Amino acid sequence: MKSVGVIGLGLIGGSMAKAIRSRTYSNVYGYDADGKVVETAIKDGTLSGKLEDHYEETDLLIVALYPADVTRVILETAPKLKKGCLIVDCTGIKKAVCEELSGRLSDMGLHFIGGHPMAGKEVAGYANSTEALFDNASMILCRDENTDEKALSDAHDFFLRLGFSQVKITTPEDHDRVIAYTSQLAHVVSSAYIKSSTLDKRYGFSAGSFKDMTRVAKLNEEMWADLFLANDSALVSEIDKLVMHLMDFSNAIDAHDRDRLVSLLRDGRIRKENDENTEKNGSAAK
């Protein structure tokens, strides 16, 4: 990975570029629709230059764009790259992206791996990017029938050097099913929760639990709407499960069924404790 290109220098792409510059010996070249961002990244030492001047020498291309743009930009860029170049995207949904790109890029002599860095902030843009964004985070890489195992191994090792604590290998389908629960549902719940009219009266009555529940309601609605719609079936399934569990609580409280309510709460506590123990023991990462 002597030469790495990054397309999209927002929070994720900018942080990728900064981590690569700081923690590897690779030259880093970048492109962003906002040319001023590229100039800033060159001036602050993150980039060695503009990506458009170095396509033919690029060993690894990281693409950090909105879902609506990622496939189009990669297909437009692919003919400019040398044979054997590895392309990794950072989009939050994988099945649609991998189905569109994996086979086509393989036929062009390029390697594609769908990726998803499990890290972020409530703020966006290059100005908020940092080389430490991925420290102790998980990087997901997706394998399919077109995956080159050597390229996958190289990607695995490379991302560990950027601060990720683990690299999780999965399929695009499994990624989307799980991410509907672990990430997308949380954003739906947070956005729905903060819509209560009681919000106007909460000042002086809220603490950590309120902040935890509402943190990700401060989101990029354009990007998240695209992610939700691209993973509609899996996300609707998780929303339906949540509604069912909420109705269990509602019915128990409405009926003043204390035993049922205690049972529901106990089950939630035990599941959370088991989840924490699994994570602590490292089983979830294996």
Which residues of the chain fall below pLDDT 50? 284-286
Cα separation, 138 vs 207, in Å, equals 29
Residue 284 has a pLDDT of 47
- pLDDT for 241: 98
Q: What span, in angstroms and rounded, lies between the C-alpha atoms of 182 and 197?
A: 27
Provide the pLDDT for residue 285.
46
* Start and end residues for every CATH 3.40.50.720 domain found in the chain: 3-170
Gyration radius of the chain's alpha carbons? 21
Give the pLDDT confidence score for residue 286 in this predicted structure.
Answer: 47
> Taken in order 56, 60, 65, 70, is the CA torsion positive or negative?
positive
Kindly give, in sequence order, each residue whose CB lies less than 8 Å from that of residue 208, ignoring residues fewer than 6 positions away. Answer: none
pLDDT at 81: 97
Q: What is the pLDDT of residues 251-277, one digit of tens each?
A: 999 999 999 999 999 999 999 999 999
pLDDT at 280: 84
Fold of 3-170: Rossmann fold (3.40.50)
Alpha-carbon span 57 to 3, nearest angstrom: 7
pLDDT of residue 266: 97
* Chain segment 65-117, per-residue pLDDT in tens: 988 899 999 999 999 999 999 999 999 999 999 999 999 999 999 999 999 99
Query: In 3D, which of 69, 109, 103, 119 has the Cα closest to residue 89?
Result: 69
CA-to-CA dists, residue 179 to 174, 231, 247, angstroms: 8, 9, 24
Kindly report the pTM of this predicted structure: 0.90
Integer angstrom CA distances of residue 81 from 112, 124, 192? 12, 29, 44
CATH for 176-255, options being 2.60.40.10, 1.10.3660.10, 3.40.50.300, 1.10.3720.10: 1.10.3660.10
- Write the DSSP string, 73-103: HHHHHGGGSPTT-EEEE--S--HHHHHHHHH
